């Protein structure tokens, strides 16, 4: 982000103002403005990522056809079966089957 800032007036839910003020009080943010600026920057990055993902999926579907719900379920199962467990223990096949039912 640039060093030049623009002053704006916005209407914000009171709970969000309180959350920002708490972040300032505990030292997570330098100011309410900084906290809001960070939130807006994160949202802008997320929106850009979602737009790129949308474009990638649209390109894939244009070439190979629409991704079906069955394909998504099948891929999710394959991903779970091949996942590396980082915390805890991997559930047994019986527990995984009960969970997906």
Q: Tokens standing for 11?
A: 């209407």
pLDDT per residue rounded down to tens, the chain (101 residues): 557 889 999 999 999 999 999 999 999 999 999 999 999 999 999 999 999 999 999 999 999 999 999 999 999 999 999 998 888 776 677 777 777 76
The reply to whether the predicted model has a pTM over 0.75 is no
- Half-sphere exposure in the Cβ direction for 52 (13 Å, CA): 6
What is the H or E stretch that residue 96 is in? helix 93-100
């Amino acid at each position: 982000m640039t060093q030049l800032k623009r002053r704006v007036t916005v209407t914000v839910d009171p709970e969000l103002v309180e959350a920002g003020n708490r972040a300032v009080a505990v030292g997570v943010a330098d100011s309410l403005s900084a906290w809001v600026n960070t939130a807006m920057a994160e949202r802008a990055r997320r929106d850009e990522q979602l737009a790129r993902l949308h474009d990638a999926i649209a390109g894939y579907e244009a070439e190979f056809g629409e991704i079906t719900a069955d394909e998504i379920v099948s891929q999710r199962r394959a991903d779970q079966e091949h996942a590396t467990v980082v915390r805890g223990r991997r559930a047994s096949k019986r527990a995984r089957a009960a969970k997906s039912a």
